[in-house]
Amino acid sequence: MFRRFWNIYYDGFRHLPRWGKIVIAIVLAKLFIMFAVIKLFFMPDYLNSQYTTDQEKSNHVLNELITKPSPMAPELTTTLVEWSRWQFAMTAIYHYMFVPLTLGLSFLLAVMETMWVRTGKEEWLHATKFWMKLFAINFAIGIATGLILEFQFGSNWSNYSWFVGDIFGAPLAIEGLFAFFLEATFFAVMFFGWNKVSKSFHLTSTWMVFLGSNISALWILVANAWMQNPVGMEFNPLTARNEMSDFWAVLFSPTAMNKFFHTVTSAYTLSACFVIGVSAWFILKKRHLGFARKSILLASVFGFFSIIATIFTGDTSAQDITRTQPMKLAAMSGTRYLLDS
């Protein structure tokens, strides 16, 4: 069994097209730069080499990173919190440019391959393989940026991670150990396993990728929802930390459920629009008409229902924000500016 899996990976990488090898090379180069080059040449052990006591190190950090004015704009004070927010925000924005497309596109891939297995029509096979290539690009870039985000929780928000790590870290750990591994393992079979495994097993792998990607979104949004509406926890004065008291309250809080369903239905809408747009381009150019028509038909039906679901989940999410974060709702709707005017 292990030899078969090794052969799937080995043959898959060996027969990758040129663009696939370039994407993997970019991801590996980025990881190498992050963890080797930057650490070795740009992040020397300066504090230990210049200072001996913790107080001296603390004073240096306070002066250089927290209260030191920006050389570009001396009148402004760039604090460590501001820098951390900017860095994390830019990484999260770049990460989220690619992730939502994979949530809905994985479902469309699973449906297309199911139609191919059931009908045997080559148009469905060509559609599956075409959209799988675009899925793989987004998946690879999502992994590279997602890894950075995971480390920035510790590097940018170390005190916060320590203070609420027992609660905030649990869903993130489950996402990494269960959902991401499920998604990544079956992605290899789905992408490299053509003509190496049976049709039924390959189809199962595609559905597992869809399931894993959406479960991954669930746990990440559970962690985010807890930050918006902390539930299922209590403060321990002995350790001066927040600790989880009810796991199920954290998982099934109304905020978490509303965030999850609104996010995934929005991602489904995005994926449907993406497939429709690319398929429409092929039809206008009169190229690959068979697979383009089938793709646009499937995506149109999927997009219709996902838009309806998005409207409903958006309304329920807004109602939850009204109860838990009324100030956020006021900021979202511009109430302050309306009152000022």
- The 10s digit of each residue's pLDDT in 304-318 is 999 999 999 999 998
- Six token digits for residue 30: 């980025």
What average pLDDT does the chain have?
82
pLDDT for res 68: 52
Residue pair 270/104 in contact by the 8 Å Cβ criterion: yes
d(CA 297, CA 276): 8
CB atoms within 10 A of CB 190: 28
Which of 228, 245, 227 shows the shortest CA–CA distance to 236?
A: 245
Which of 293, 316, 330, 318 shows the shortest CA–CA distance to 126?
A: 293
Given a cut of 70, whether residue 8 has pLDDT beyond it is no
- The 10s digit of each residue's pLDDT in 78-111 is 566 777 788 888 888 888 888 888 899 999 999 9
Query: Band of the pLDDT at 58, cuts 50, 70, 90?
Result: low
Query: Band of the pLDDT at 62, cuts 50, 70, 90?
Result: low
d(CA 127, CA 112): 7
Given a cut of 60, whether residue 221 has pLDDT beyond it is yes
Report percent pLDDT > 70 for the chain: 81
pLDDT for res 73: 47
Following CA atoms 206, 207, 208, 212 in sequence, which dihedral angle do they give, to the nearest 10 degrees? Answer: 110
pLDDT for res 306: 95
Given a cut of 80, whether residue 319 has pLDDT beyond it is yes
pLDDT for res 43: 54
**Helix and strand tally (H, E) in the chain?**
15, 2
Residue pair 231/247 in contact by the 8 Å Cβ criterion: no
Query: Band of the pLDDT at 76, cuts 50, 70, 90?
Result: very low
d(CA 214, CA 103): 6
Which of the 8 DSSP states describes residue 239? T
Biggest distance spanned by C-alpha atoms of the chain: 72
pLDDT (mean) for 192-214: 89
CB atoms within 10 A of CB 259: 24
Query: Band of the pLDDT at 336, cuts 50, 70, 90?
Result: low
Query: Band of the pLDDT at 248, cuts 50, 70, 90?
Result: very high
pLDDT (mean) for 14-18: 71
Among 106-115, 145-154, 243-252, 258-267, name the one with the lowest average pLDDT: 145-154
CB atoms within 10 A of CB 270: 18
Which of the 8 DSSP states describes residue 70? P
pLDDT (mean) for 197-221: 91
Angle at 199 between CA 197 and CA 200, to 5 degrees: 100
**Strands (DSSP E) found in the chain:** 233-236, 241-244
d(CA 269, CA 287): 25
Given a cut of 80, whether residue 40 has pLDDT beyond it is no
Radius of gyration of the chain (CA): 24
Question: Who contacts 256 (Cβ-Cβ below 8 Å, separation ≥6)?
Answer: 221, 222, 225, 226, 250
More confident residue, 140 or 305: 305
pLDDT for res 340: 53
Secondary structure (3-state) at 235: strand
